[in-house]
Amino acid sequence: MTRLTATTAHAFGNVATRDMKPSRLAAGVMVVLWLSLAAAGAWAQTTQPADQDAAASNQQDSEPIAHELLMFEEMPMMVLSASRRPIRANQVTVPVSVITAEDIHYGGLTSLPEILLQIPGMDVLLTDRNVASVGVRGLHHTISDRNLVLIDGRSNGGIASGGADLLGLPIFPEDIARIEVARGPGGAAWGANAFNTVVNIIMKRPEEVPGILASTTWNEYGDSFNQFRWGHKAGDWSWRISGGYEERETSEDAVAHDDFSSRDFARINRFDGEGLWNIGSDSTLRFGGSTAHIERGDFDLADYPAPGQLRSDERSDVARAFMQFDRNFNDRDHFSLQWYANYEDYNRPTLARWTAWENSVDTQWDLWPAKEHELSLGGSAKWIHIDADQARDSDLLGSDVCDEYWLSAFAIERWHVAPRWTLEGQMRADWYSATHADVSGRASVLYALDDEDNHILRWSVARAYHAPSYGIREAAGTRVPLGPPGMFASNYIKSVDIEHETVWSFESGYSGQFTGGWSTSINGYYQRYENLIGYETLPDPLSLGRFYTISRNINGATAMGVETEVAYRRDPWSVSAWYAYNGFEDDATNQSTRSFRPAPHKMGLTTRVKLPADATANMTYRWTDITRNDPMFGSDAPRFHRLDLTLTKSFAKGRCEVTLGVTDVLDTADINVNQSGSTTSHETPGRTFFGRMQLKF
């Protein structure tokens, strides 16, 4: 849970005083225990005789079940999300940060927004237990539609809203191989809406997780997250099947003496499966599907429901399916063809209800046309169908059925001009039937300071755009009826001739990998936004005090900043520390952008140490400065800090594992923050003790 503290003036300032079930003494004991074990682990590793090291190694080799996590491996040397093909992490043309499977596993978290708190420059605010505002360099709110969320390179944003529901995706954290976050405009590689960042969730392949995993996580409030997974390989076939159930209690039941009738509970059933068929030695066919059924409490939105009015629960069903064929023609040339489909059925009483589905066909050729040239060519075609049924007077989407179409083509060329110089150009053209055609691009220069390409300087210029989704373009309705028939206090007008938002980015950076397990990066940027979409209030033509609101292109903004990261990874330690400055200035005073601005200062620290007797201790700390809210939506989010501690112990040669942890150690409750269009807010739980047990066969 994201920590939002009004009383915190500094990173280790005063904490909120609201009473919670766990005591400060218990939290202090947990801190002392973690530090003691970490120190003992470091001492034991430095004093352990060589023959004991060998014995321990032999014992691990004799275990019948291999642990699916390789402790403290180096950061993945190859990443996909910058240029759509594997490239060494320090040679990419856009800053990419990676959260590994080990970071996820030993952190003990089951919430994607909380996991993303580890990313440099990432802004994460939890406005209630079901709604998270997530973004990079700002422009994030309830519907973070300016960030593109991918699962294995396939779009998983909301079909009608444009923004992904990170708390409701049909995936399981234990099935994630890594999360790559490419900061900055990524439209040239991934298309529209990769406006400020690309979050690519890479799932574990079926052959990587053989056997059975049963995992259950419980916390002191009764929240639970449960998963059962079966992985198997038989000849040329392998598969991974996961199912599970998540339950989150409402803040009202978790925060002691809370006087707000919160309704942010959730009940989620998930299923995810993937199969792989090796067709000969050079071709594979991947296929899979996933579903999630979500029931959760509603929240007030745009003056509805009125105080005292009956409330209704939200219900949503989402489904994903895909099939991908890959062919390697030689050591370099590669062809990929995939189809994927997304489906969503939403009933949100405070917003609208709709069903929607999309079908997409993508293809990509990775070629080496010459010795020093790498070329990727591809394109996609997408068909979107949206059915918004306005059976209720309060719905903010018109009663409409529409079909939308996308056609896209891209080219990415990487040219090794000289032994130390590399040029990369990315260009993409998209045609969208609901708006118009547009282009994205990125041009980069890389210079290696050494012959081994371990130290790289980078300069880039990029352009991307955001196409307004159906939910932005078609939002319209009336709420809060007045005395005279047909008159309402709140009136939402459908937008007219709304244009794409655009961003130009100028970037420079350095990435270095040193001997001894050290690596570092520093990245600076200047971004210019145009045609940002916000909400504007129009005057009442009859001067009766009514509100008329319309979404339209209001103005631009300028952003600049720097993001730095230092990491050390060598057994038994894994340590990373980062700091980010993200400045943001609107062109107009009190300008609405449908979003929070970025917190100007952010920093984080993650430490993990392997202890004796198959134990691992993990610590994650995050501090975030004041976050300015959209002037249409209320108060700013105050400074907050968050400290998470976990201790994991394996038994029975890795067949059983127990994790004990506490999140948000220093604070007792999260302060309230208004979400987009909401007039109320309430506290969410802060410090939380939890336990997890896993069995593997």
399 is a domain residue:
yes
- According to DSSP, the β-strands at 684-685 and 669-670 are antiparallel
Q: Give how many domains the chain has, as a whole number.
A: 1
Query: Does the residue 8 lie in any domain?
Result: no
Find out whether 124 and 114 touch, Cβ atoms under 8 Å: yes
The first and second tokens of residue 688, run together, are 């939380």
Q: Are strands 237-248 and 421-432 parallel, antiparallel or unpaired?
A: unpaired
More confident residue, 259 or 659: 659
Q: Is the pLDDT of residue 355 over 60?
A: yes
17: in domain: no
The answer to whether residue 252 sits within a structural domain is: yes
Provide the whole-model pTM.
0.89
Comparing CA positions, the residue from 359, 406, 341 lying closest to residue 191 is: 406
Is 80 exceeded by the pLDDT of residue 257?
no
Question: Which tokens in the block code for residue 418?
Answer: 């000289």
Q: How far apart are CA 478 and CA 584, in angstroms?
A: 34
Indicate which CATH number applies to the domain containing 691: 2.40.170.20
pLDDT in tens, 499-524: 999 999 999 999 999 988 999 999 99
Q: Please report whether residue 496 resides in a domain.
A: yes
Within a domain: residue 238?
A: yes
Give the per-residue pLDDT at 56.
40
Mean predicted confidence (pLDDT) in 435-442: 97
Contacts of 573 (CB under 8 A, 6+ apart): 42, 72, 607, 608, 609, 610
Q: Which of 391, 387, 362 is nearest to 377 (CA)?
A: 362
**Assigned token pair, 498:** 């709304």
Q: Is the pLDDT of residue 2 over 60?
A: no
Evaluate if residue 551 carries a pLDDT over 80. yes
Q: Is the pLDDT of residue 43 over 80?
A: no
Amino acid of residue 232? H
Q: Between 187 and 671, where is the model more confident?
A: 187
Expressed as residue numbers, the domain containing 491 is: 24-696
For residue 393, the model assigns a pLDDT of: 75
Rounded Cα distance between 497 and 436, Å, is: 11
CA nearest 170: which of 360, 343, 357, 352? 343
User: Percent of the chain scored above 70 by pLDDT?
Assistant: 86
pLDDT single digits (tens) 562-586: 999 999 999 999 999 999 999 999 9
Burial degree of 445 (CB within 10 A; 0-12, 13-18, 19+): middle
- Residue 598 domain-assigned? yes
Closest Cα to residue 412, out of 660, 82, 643? 82
Give the chain's radius of gyration (CA, Å). 25
Residue 547 lies in a domain: yes
